[in-house]
């Protein structure tokens, strides 16, 4: 990269001018409306999630590359930013790999936890509290542990 | 750093840049260091929000129905409006950076003022949304008394919602303060092709705030 001269306009002058920045903004606005539009199409929720995340990643790239000048930036700054996302990915991947793959120990002698009778719950309990999350009522480690104690 | 009062106005119409600290071999070297420092900080910000996003996905896996129901109760109109407000403020900040780099301090000042105003608009809209949630008692944890969410996990959704948007709003406030500081310095015509790092770095912070919202918006409001 050319170094800046000590006077006058920047010698390298990297980055978009106002026109191209505006164009970038226009694309971002279109993407915002498209992510909104896609969310209104009836399809399974996981598809919605995937579509929304894909559009968000495209928007992220546009902001980072052109508004934040990483397109023209020094390599070290790119490494820093990408590395932070690498660690985000590591955290997300291993946590979700754990949460997403828990299952009932089918050959366990521990009986399935009893169904919690809502009428026995203390009064004044807000709705949604005290019930066992669906899909976990018969399997997750926490609830079977509690069942064992009772 | 030398105070601006001691710096002379150049013929081009901006204050002469502060001297490059002696341990940098060149002006460009100094700029690189300032930029790298900011990017490192932004990296830690990404990691800060990473925890919240991971929390979001974990609880979403545990309570998918509550997250869907609660997401439908958020105002799509205000959410989308806020996305557009933040995107536009990012555009004005990026353009202000361009003008500051070209020594057009007045243009940069007005664009930064517009950005700060849009930051304020964002917070007002957020306030309207928070107000609605407080009226409905759609609140985190034990304060949750919102009957329209029947699936288990409603209180958890609002913990994630308020924590994520609250931390983001805090960043908006910090960003607005930084932009105000930079705007004042633009008014004093401190920036020039040789010295515009404060505009650039405050701008980078503001863009990061926008980036976080780019992910919060679809995850909370749309899916």
| B90 contacts in chain A (CB < 8 Å) | 25, 28, 63, 67
* Beta-carbon separation of B46 and A85 below 8 A: yes
* Beta-carbon separation of A63 and B214 below 8 A: yes
Closest CA of chain B from A111, distance in Å: 22
pLDDT values of chain B reduced to their tens digit, one per residue, 223 residues: 445 457 888 888 889 888 888 999 998 899 999 999 999 999 999 999 999 999 999 999 999 999 999 999 999 999 999 999 999 999 999 999 999 999 999 999 999 999 999 999 999 999 999 999 999 999 998 899 998 888 888 999 999 999 999 999 999 999 999 999 999 999 999 999 999 999 999 999 999 999 999 999 999 999 8
* Beta-carbon separation of B98 and A25 below 8 A: no
Interatomic CA distance for residues B218 and B38, integer angstroms: 27
Report yes or no on B173 lying in a domain.
yes
pTM for the predicted model, two decimal places: 0.83
CA-based nearest residue to B95, from B75, B84, B78, B111: B111
DSSP letter at A3?
A: P
CA-based nearest residue to B112, from B168, B191, B219, B32: B191
Interatomic CA distance for residues A148 and A110, integer angstroms: 7
Asked if B125 and B78 count as a contact pair (C-beta separation under 8 A), the reply is: yes
Model confidence at A142, pLDDT cuts 50, 70, 90, reads very low
Domain that holds residue B128: 27-222
For residue A94, give every residue at least 6 positions away whose Cβ sits within 8 Å of its Cβ, in sequence order, or none.
Answer: none
CA-based nearest residue to B218, from A92, A85, A31, A81: A31
Domain count, chain B: 1
Report yes or no on B160 lying in a domain.
yes
A47 inside 8 A of chain B by CB: no
Report yes or no on B51 lying in a domain.
yes
Would you tell me how many other CB atoms lie within 10 Å of the CB of residue A147? 17
A67 inside 8 A of chain B by CB: yes
Reported ipTM: the value is 0.90
pLDDT of A89-128, one tens digit each? 999 999 999 998 887 666 666 666 666 666 665 555 555 5
Place of tokens 């490192």: B40
Look at residue A140 in the predicted model and tell me its pLDDT: 44
- CATH number of the domain at B77, please: 1.20.120.80
């Amino acid at each position: 990269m050319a170094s800046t001269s000590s006077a006058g306009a920047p010698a390298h002058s990297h980055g978009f001018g106002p026109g191209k920045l505006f164009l970038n903004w226009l694309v971002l606005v279109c993407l915002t409306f498209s992510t909104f539009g896609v969310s209104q199409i009836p399809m399974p929720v996981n598809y919605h999630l995937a579509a929304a995340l894909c559009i968000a990643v495209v928007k992220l790239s546009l902001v980072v590359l052109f508004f934040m000048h990483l397109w023209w930036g020094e390599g070290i700054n790119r490494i820093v930013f990408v590395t932070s996302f690498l660690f985000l990915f590591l955290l997300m991947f291993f946590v979700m790999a754990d949460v997403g793959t828990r299952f009932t120990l089918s050959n366990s002698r521990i009986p399935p936890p009893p169904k919690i009778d809502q009428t026995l719950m203390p009064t004044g309990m807000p709705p949604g509290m005290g019930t066992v999350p669906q899909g976990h009522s018969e399997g997750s480690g926490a609830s079977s542990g509690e069942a064992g104690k009772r | 750093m030398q105070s601006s009062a001691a710096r002379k106005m150049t013929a081009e119409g901006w204050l002469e840049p502060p001297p490059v600290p002696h341990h940098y071999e060149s002006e460009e070297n100094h700029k690189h260091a300032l930029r790298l420092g900011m990017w490192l900080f932004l990296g830690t910000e990404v990691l800060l929000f990473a925890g919240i996003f991971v929390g979001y996905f974990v609880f979403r896996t545990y309570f998918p129905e509550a997250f869907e129901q609660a997401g439908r109760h958020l105002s799509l109109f205000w959410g989308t409006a806020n996305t557009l407000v933040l995107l536009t403020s990012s555009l004005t900040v990026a353009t202000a950076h361009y003008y500051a780099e070209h020594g057009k301090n007045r243009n940069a000042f007005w664009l930064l003022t517009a950005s700060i105003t849009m930051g304020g608009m964002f917070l007002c809209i957020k306030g309207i949304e928070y107000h609605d949630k407080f009226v409905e008692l759609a609140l985190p944890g034990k304060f949750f008394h919102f009957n329209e969410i029947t699936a288990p996990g409603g209180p958890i959704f609002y913990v994630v919602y308020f924590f994520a948007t609250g931390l983001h709003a805090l960043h908006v406030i910090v960003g607005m303060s930084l932009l105000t500081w930079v705007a004042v310095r633009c008014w004093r015509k401190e920036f020039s092709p040789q010295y515009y790092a404060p505009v650039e770095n405050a701008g980078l912070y503001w863009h990061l705030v926008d980036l976080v919202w780019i992910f919060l918006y679809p995850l909370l409001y749309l899916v």
